Amino acid sequence: MKNQFDDIRKITFFLLRCRPQYKNRKNFYSLCQFKKKFSIDAEWHFFATSHGKGPCDGIGGALKRNATKASLQRPYSNQITTAKDLYDWAKTKESAMAFHYCSEESYKKIENLLKNQFDCVKSIQGTQKFHSFVPIDESTVAARKISFQNNFEKFALK
């Protein structure tokens, strides 16, 4: 992203729904390390179920609808059935959007590199009651029940 937008100072991630797989020690620690790795501030906010709908939902829906239509119009042996197929189709058909593909091999490589980093990270109990996570430093996160409330709970991850 820094290659495309040179004046980025902060990224605010919004995730729909508070799924437990997103609220885990690895993601919180990665959030705390974001500024060190990318020189950009970052924070995470989670919408409640059925809240936070926006333009990206329509864009994603249109992409999926167009991919489904394209797949059904192809011969049976050449339908879009994998993430790689979808990526290959999307990068040639949906020119207004940028797409990035992460292969299973590259995912495994990154997972192995990060494993040692995550082994010593502590979990945060009761993450489901929080909807906002903002790094305080490289291993401490502030958690808020409401995104912009003044009071927060501080959690050391190491």
Q: How does pLDDT run across 104-151, given as a tens digit for each residue?
A: 999 899 888 888 888 889 988 888 888 899 999 999 999 999 888 889
Is residue 21 packed enough to be buried (19+ CB in 10 Å), middle (13-18) or exposed (0-12)?
Answer: exposed
The DSSP call for residue 91 is H
**Where do the structural domains in the chain lie, given as residue ranges?**
1-158
The DSSP call for residue 8 is -
3-state SS string over 29-87? Answer: HHHHHHHHHHCCEEEEEEECCCCCCCHHHHHHHHHHHHHHHHHHHCCHHHCCCCHHHHH
- pLDDT digits 0-9 by tens, 37-56: 988 999 998 876 555 566 66
Which residues 6+ apart lie within 8 Å of 47 measured at CB? 14, 15, 16, 17, 131
Quick one: tokens of 137? 């430093």
Question: Any idea how long the chain is?
Answer: 158
pTM above 0.95, yes or no: no
